[in-house]
C-alpha cells in the first residue's frame, strides 16, 4: 500500500510522521519542492519497514503530478496556500483516479471543490475535503454532537490559534487571503456575508492555557459544509481569534494592503510580491512574540432537541493546531485505505468520517483532551 504526501512544511511533516508510525503503508512518497527538507524529515523515521522516499514536484505541473499520483493508493495534500494549489491538486487526483485527503481551510476554495463533486464521482474516487483541525476535527465533533440529538437547530464552532505556533509561510498567505476581509456565516436558511475579525464578537471560555477570549466570524468553510449536511439547521457559524488578539488586527491590516495592490514592491534591491512581503512580516511578527503558549483550542456547540427538550452539547479541547491538522489528515487516509470511509465524490469530514473511530484515534495520539458538557435549557 503506497501513500503519496504532497508538501513537507509544518503540517506535512506532522502528517508524514503519523503515517509512518501509525499507518500500515509499505511505501510513503513525499512530493515537495524542497528535497533537502523532505530528506531531513525522512531521515528521522526509524523502526518501521515502510520504504520512504522523496520526489521533487511542482504541483502546477499538471501532467507530472497526475502521473506520480497514478502510482499511489491514496494522496494526502498538505501543500499550501490552499487558494493557489487546492483545486489543481484535486483535478490531478480526478485525472489519476486516486482517492485524496486534504487540509483545505479556505472558504472560497471549498465552494470550488464542492463543484468538482460530479467529476470525482464519475472518476470513482472520494476527496475528503478539509480534514485538519478546523475544519476537520471541528466538523467531526459536530457530527458526534448531532448524532446525540433528535433535531439539530444550531452549530457553533470556534478555534483559537497561538501566534507562537504559526505554521509556515504558506499558512501566513492563507491567513492574509482568507481571514482579513469577507467571510460567510449561515443563518435563517442562507449564507450571509460578514467581516472577519470584526463581526460577531463573542466572549468564549476555552480550556487552559487559553481561557476566556473574544472570538469573531472568520472566513472558514464550516458554515458552508455543515449547513449542507444537517437538515433543518438554522444557524451555523465559525468564530476565531489569535492569541494574543493583536495578531487579528495585524492580519486585517496586512490583508487589506494585499487586496488593494498585490503587485511587486521593492525591498532593498529586490522586487517581491506584496503578498510574499506581507506573509513574511506576519510570520516574523508571530515568531517574535514571547510568553505565549503554543497550545490553541477548539470549541464546538451543537444545539437542538433531545426528548422534546432544548439541549446543548458542548465540546472543548486544547492542543497545538498544527499537530491536530497534520494528524487528522493522516488518520483520514488510514481510515480510507482500511475501508472505514466509503463512497465517492467530494465530501467534507462531517459527511463521511465516523466520529467514534476518528476521535478515538485522535485521543490515542495524546495531542489533547476532549471535554464534553451537556446542558438542558
Which cell is 46 given? 526509524
Which cell is 358 given? 476518528
The pLDDT assigned to 32 comes to 95
Q: Over the stretch 71-118, which tens digit does the pLDDT of each residue have?
A: 999 999 999 999 999 999 999 999 999 999 999 999 999 999 999 999
Q: pTM surpassing 0.75?
A: yes
* % the chain with pLDDT above 70: 100
CA–CA distance, 213 with 162 (Å, rounded to integer): 12
pLDDT at 267 over 80: no
pLDDT at 248 over 80: yes
Side-chain-facing half-sphere of 251: CA atoms under 13 Å: 32
Q: Which residue has the higher pLDDT, 167 or 341?
A: 341
3-state secondary structure of 204: strand
The mean pLDDT value for 344-366 works out to 96
User: Would you call 97 exposed, middle or buried from its count of C-beta atoms within 10 A (0-12, 13-18, 19+)?
Assistant: middle
DSSP state of 138: H
The pLDDT assigned to 377 comes to 67
The pLDDT assigned to 35 comes to 92
The pLDDT assigned to 322 comes to 87
Q: Over the stretch 180-231, which tens digit does the pLDDT of each residue have?
A: 999 999 999 899 999 999 999 999 999 999 999 999 999 999 999 999 999 9
Report whether 183 contacts 215 (CB < 8 A): no
CA–CA distance, 218 with 174 (Å, rounded to integer): 12
88-92, 187-191, 265-269, 301-305: range with lowest mean pLDDT: 265-269
Kindly list the domain boundaries of the chain, sorted by start residue.
Answer: 2-132+322-364, 137-321+369-376
Quick count: other Cβ atoms within 10 Å of Cβ 376? 9
Q: Over the stretch 158-191, which tens digit does the pLDDT of each residue have?
A: 999 999 998 899 999 999 999 999 999 999 989 9
What fold is seen in the domain 137-321+369-376? Dihydrodipicolinate Reductase; domain 2 (3.30.360)
Q: Which CATH class is domain 2-132+322-364?
A: alpha beta
30-39, 281-290, 365-374: range with lowest mean pLDDT: 365-374
The pLDDT assigned to 19 comes to 97
> What DSSP letter does each residue of 81-117 carry, written as one string?
-HHHHHHHHHHHHHHHT-EEEE----HHHHHHHHTTH
CA–CA distance, 31 with 59 (Å, rounded to integer): 9
Amino acid at each position: 500500500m503506497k501513500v503519496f504526501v504532497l508538501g513537507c512544511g509544518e503540517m506535512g511533516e506532522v502528517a508524514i510522521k503519523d503515517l509512518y508510525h501509525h499507518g500500515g503503508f509499505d511505501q510513503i512518497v513525499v512530493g515537495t519542492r524542497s528535497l533537502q527538507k523532505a530528506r531531513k524529515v525522512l531521515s528521522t523515521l526509524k523502526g518501521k519497514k515502510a520504504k520512504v522516499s522523496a520526489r521533487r514536484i511542482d504541483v502546477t505541473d499538471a501532467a507530472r503530478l497526475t502521473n506520480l499520483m497514478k502510482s499511489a493508493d491514496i494522496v494526502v495534500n498538505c501543500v499550501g496556500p490552499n487558494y493557489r494549489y487546492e483545486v489543481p491538486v484535486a483535478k490531478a487526483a480526478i485525472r489519476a483516479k486516486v482517492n485524496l485527503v486534504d487540509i483545505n481551510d479556505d472558504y472560497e476554495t471549498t465552494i470550488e471543490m464542492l463543484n468538482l463533486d460530479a467529476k470525482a464521482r464519475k472518476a470513482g474516487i472520494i476527496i475528503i475535503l478539509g480534514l485538519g483541525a478546523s475544519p476537520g476535527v471541528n466538523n467531526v465533533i459536530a457530527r458526534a454532537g448531532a448524532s446525540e440529538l433528535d433535531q439539530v437547530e444550531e452549530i457553533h464552532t470556534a478555534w483559537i490559534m497561538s501566534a507562537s505556533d504559526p505554521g509556515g509561510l504558506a499558512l501566513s498567505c492563507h491567513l492574509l487571503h482568507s481571514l482579513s476581509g469577507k467571510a460567510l456565516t449561515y443563518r435563517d436558511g442562507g449564507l450571509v456575508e460578514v467581516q472577519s475579525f470584526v463581526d460577531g464578537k463573542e466572549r468564549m471560555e476555552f480550556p487552559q492555557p487559553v481561557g476566556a477570549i473574544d472570538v469573531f466570524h472568520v472566513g472558514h468553510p464550516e458554515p458552508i459544509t455543515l449547513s449542507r449536511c444537517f437538515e433543518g439547521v438554522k444557524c451555523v457559524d465559525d468564530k476565531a481569534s489569535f492569541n494574543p488578539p493583536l495578531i487579528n488586527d495585524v492580519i486585517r491590516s496586512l490583508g487589506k494592503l494585499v487586496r488593494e495592490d498585490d503587485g511587486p514592491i521593492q525591498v532593498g534591491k529586490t522586487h517581491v510580491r506584496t503578498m510574499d512581503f506581507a506573509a513574511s512580516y506576519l510570520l516574523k511578527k508571530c515568531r517574535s512574540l514571547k510568553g505565549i503558549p503554543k497550545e490553541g483550542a477548539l470549541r464546538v456547540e451543537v444545539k437542538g432537541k433531545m426528548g422534546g427538550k432544548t439541549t446543548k452539547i458542548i465540546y472543548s479541547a486544547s492542543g497545538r493546531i498544527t499537530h491536530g491538522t497534520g494528524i487528522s489528515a493522516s488518520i483520514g487516509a488510514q481510515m480510507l485505505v482500511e475501508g472505514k470511509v466509503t463512497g465517492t465524490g467530494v465530501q467534507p469530514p462531517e459527511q463521511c468520517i465516523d466520529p467514534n473511530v476518528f476521535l478515538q484515534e485522535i485521543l490515542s495520539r495524546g495531542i489533547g483532551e476532549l471535554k464534553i458538557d451537556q446542558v438542558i435549557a
